[in-house]
Structures are given as structure tokens and as C-alpha cells.
Amino acid sequence: MSAETATENELLLQFLYACPVGLVEIEADGAIGMINPLAMQLMVPLMRPPQGMNFFDIMEPYAPELRNLVEEFTALHGEVCSNLRIFISPGTKQSGYLAHVLSCTLVRLAADRFMATLSDVSKVVAQERRLGEAEVWFSSLLDGVSDFAVLSLDAQGLIDGVSASALRQTGFSNEDLLGKTLDVFDSPTPATSAVTVTEQISLACRDGWYLIEGWQKRKDLPADWCQRLIAVRSEEGEEDRTVTGYTVILREVVRQKHDALELKQMLTRDHLTGASNRAHFFEIAGRECSRFVRYGHSLSVVALDIDHFKSVNDTYGHAAGDKVLREVSRRCMVLLRPADTFARVGGEEFMVLLPGTDLRGARLLAERLRSALENMTVSYGNEMITVTGSFGCAEAVPDTSSPAPLMESADRALYNAKQMGRNMVVLAVAGEVPGE
């Protein structure tokens, strides 16, 4: 080795050690060629045998879409993904309910060489979430005093108060609106009709508020594109809070290249299957746990793992495996209620969040899902692929204030289902949810 080359290598090593982010050089199949100390520090807790030193295998339980993004990237050079949020685990009481989140950027350096950067953005994500919630309110109330309208709904969801600006914006009169539901404004389109007014109010009760965009019908006027924010009004009782009504803000907005619904899909959906992604699941599960602690409504989780999925990939290839994952997601999602959340949380692992559902209800749903998969056939080329699924069900117990123990309990029940022969539903042992 020449002196010049040795000097260059020494400078490179100094850079790698001093770099404030994790750096991982990988091949197209995920094999790790170089990794700096910070990246190793971030990745070691994620490693499970027998993954070895393969970046995609290590990240598969947390960001299964990384492999697909690389496979689908056709440019010879450039950024494959930028600041992709990878949710490792939900917040616990010990962590101050701070979710563990990594940020990943992948860049193609050459035909078979990629560089991944990793950094821990857990605190940043928590701050962004708090700021985002505040921004919803401020953008609706302060971004111009003449472009929003306010309505009041009673506890049954009927309009009992209308501001003058609402009358001007919609063209309706008080007589047209009082005693009616928000359906009076709806102009359904394929993008907006999937969430009914009843479901919007239910989701507002779940999260404290609900925001949606869509076409708003106006009396004797063309429909306009409108942002609708439904906020819950409640009173503190001796034992819990009682919903007394809702405040609704209607705000005309200019449609951008991607409207809010499309953007929400991009941020909350799994790249491959269309199911909710891991990050969105953690966010919704955290809110549901808070609601469970406050109101005591039932809350359950179903964990699902596709049996022998590795053999599908090994026998037919990753493209066939991807098709199976998409079909499994489709078959499962059509069996769920609008308030349920179906998410891909790992390579072939999914979870279903079931608000207002006890363990018995979770078992009945899991049996329907299991039967749907057992009777499913996926065609790939000249092959017909059949799969089954194993399921674990768990119900929240008192003081379940974060998703982590509930998910762990469902995972243990899922593990037992696989140990007992697969293609079955197993319930978590009563009281098994670990303390925090």
C-alpha cells in the first residue's frame, strides 16, 4: 500500500469515527461492507440471530419496505429514500412515553453499492407530534379571520349552533342546518366517502379531534374543497369525562398537487401492502391506550404472523412473497371496522388494534381472519400459493398506559400459537401483560 493510499484510508477512518450519524455501506442484496461505530451502536440492539451482517435482514422487523425501495430504484445514482422514519418501539413509562425512532437515508453510489445513514430522532419525533397537534388548531383559527366557519353539535351529533360565517360560506340558512347532521355538507367522492360522518365523530372521540378534507356541498353554489376539524367538548365528572358536544371548524383551502388525503396515505401507509405502517400504528395505539386509561373502554390487539413465509420467498422468490403480503393485507382489511387499525409491523408480521373490543371479540375476529387466510390462494405465474396464519390476542388491563406491554402480550400469545403447530388462535394469559 502506498503512503498516499494509507493516508487516505487513515483520513477516511477518522471521518467515520467522528461522523455524527451512523454510516453503513451495503451491497444491493443488503450485505454490509462497512459500518461506523455509531451505526453499530444503533443497530446492535436490533440484531437477532441468525440475521448476520445483512442490513435488510436486520431492519426487516422494523422497516420491511427498505428492501423494496432499493429493488424498485432504477437510477444509476441518487437518493433512494430521505429521512425515512423507522419506529423501533413505542414509548413506555420508563422512557417517559418517548417512542424509539430512527431516521434512515439511503443513497445509491454505484450499481451495486449503497450508503445508508442512521440517526436517533426519538426526541425530534415527539416534539414534531406536539407541534403538529398545535398547528392543526392554529392553522384553522389564525390563518386569516375570514376563511373559516364554526358550527356546534350536540352530544348526538346534531347541529345546534351556526356562526354567521358558516352561513356565508355555505349559502345555507339557520333553518336548513339546525337539527341536521354534518351529512348536509357532504358531497361524496371516491376519496372521501369511505369515512362517514358517524365514523368521523367516533374517531374524534377516540383522538380528541379529527381532521379531514373533501368536497363540501353548498346551497345554490358550486361545491368547494374544505378542511373539516371536529373537536370534542366534554365535562369532567366524578369518575370520567362526559362528551357534551362537538365544535366543528370548516375552512376553505386551495388544493395542492397532493391533497391532504393522498399525503396522509403516503405518510401513514406501508409502501408495499397499503396497510398502516409501524409508525402510524404506534401513534394510534398510544392514543387508544390513553383513552383506555381515561374512560375504561375495552381495548384489544391481535398479532398475526404468516406461517412459513420464509419458505415462500425461498421457493418462489421475493416478488411472489410481496404478492402474498399484499393479498393477506387485502383479505384482512375488508373484514375490519373503520375504527380498527390494521398495520404491517414487521416483515410478515401484522397487528390489529381493536378499540371497544374485549378479548372474546378479539378472538372471534382472529378466527375470521385465520379462516380467510386458510381458504386463500395466491396465483403467481403458473403457481398457486397457499398460506396460513398464526394469531395471538391480548386485552388491555388496568394501567395499560402505553402500547408496549399490550403488544408484548399479544406477541407472546402469537409465539405460543406457532409453537403449538401454527394456523391457530391463542389468547394471552389473563393478567399476563407485564407491568411498566
Do 356 and 338 meet the contact criterion of CB atoms below 8 Å apart? Answer: no
> How crowded is the C-beta side of 206, counted as CA atoms within 13 Å?
25
C-alpha cell at 185: 355538507
What is the DSSP annotation of 94-154?
TTTS--EEEEEEEEEEETTEEEEEEEE-HHHHHHHHHHHHHHHHHHHHTS-TTSEEEEEEE
Bridge pairing between strands 389-395 and 425-427: parallel
Do 37 and 129 meet the contact criterion of CB atoms below 8 Å apart? Answer: no
C-alpha cell at 153: 353539535
Q: What are phi and psi of 418, to 5 degrees?
A: -70, -35
Q: What is the DSSP letter of 54?
A: B
Do 194 and 186 meet the contact criterion of CB atoms below 8 Å apart? Answer: no
Tell me how many degrees the CA angle 303-305-308 measures, rounded to the nearest 5: 165
Edge to edge, the sheet with strand 341-344 lists 341-344, 349-355, 299-306, 389-395, 425-427
3-class secondary structure, 421: coil
3-class secondary structure, 30: coil
Whether 408 is catalytic: no
Distances (CA, A) of 40 to 22, 36, 44, 122, 124: 7, 6, 6, 18, 21
Terminal CA-CA length for the chain? 56
Distances (CA, A) of 329 to 81, 276, 283, 393, 412: 24, 10, 20, 18, 22
| Catalytic-labelled residue, pool 25, 348, 395, 408 | 348
> How crowded is the C-beta side of 66, counted as CA atoms within 13 Å?
34
> How crowded is the C-beta side of 124, counted as CA atoms within 13 Å?
10
Active site residues: 348
